[in-house]
A and B are shown apart, each in its own frame.
Chain A
Amino acid sequence: MTDKELRVSKIRDGTVIDHVTAGQALNVLAILGIDGSGGESVSIGMNVPSDKVGYKDVVKVEGRELSQSEVDVLSLIAPEATINIIRDFDVVEKNRVEQTDTVRGILVCPNHNCITNADEPVRTEFEVLGDGVRCAYCDTIIREGDVAEHIDARGSGETAL
């Protein structure tokens, strides 16, 4: 499959996440809380040759747009990604992910004794550092390469289209 074929293949409504760092496609799905049980139609390209970045992953999801907090976390694991929102077969929005200062929800603090892991009415909050993120509650640092491991597998609960 070439870059061009992938880009033109049609979905009716949903999101195409392009230029994902090679190898991160499954983590992107984890961020979106997609494990197949929700019935979404998903296609993934992994290690697809790309003129721009050598190799990349591509994720296409039917019937689903991304919330800002999802995009925030994508920026940590796939800083070069582009987000294409598709409605009625047309690209209506094309965005680059941007590094944000804070990621809310989405990540779980690895510190078991952190108050965000107790049964409290609070969303996790992580400050984005140069090379990782830090829990705004207990200060635990997650290094950049480990961020994907701490994605909330239950999804953020605010990802519905």
Chain B
Amino acid sequence: MSAERRDMDAPLAIEGHGSRKSYLVGFLLSVVLTAIPFWLVMSNVLENPGATSALVILFAVLQILVHTFCFLHVNTQAEGGWTMLAYIFTAVILLITIAGSLWIMYHLNSNMMPGMMPGQMAETP
């Protein structure tokens, strides 16, 4: 029982779930990285919606990284690097799922909708 307790305590001691500094730095960065995209969209700063979209996505990716390191404490040391490995693996699958779905469905829409096939063009009323 006592050995089990020590096993339980040890990881918690070396885990190091952040410091006041890491939380405050993460919070300040998040505030900036949230305020800028909201400001870009709400006051329509850039005339070009494409450029605004690209910037908004960039800020989201940056903020997700800030949260991952400052709040979730994913790094090469935590849990012997396994959390980071699982995180990278998930990120890859996530990108494949979302980007792949959008890609396939976009092409299905543009190629397979009735009346869109070259041969059918004449037949449609």
**Chains A and B belong together in one complex:** no
B contact residues vs A (CB 8 Å cutoff): none
A contact residues vs B (CB 8 Å cutoff): none
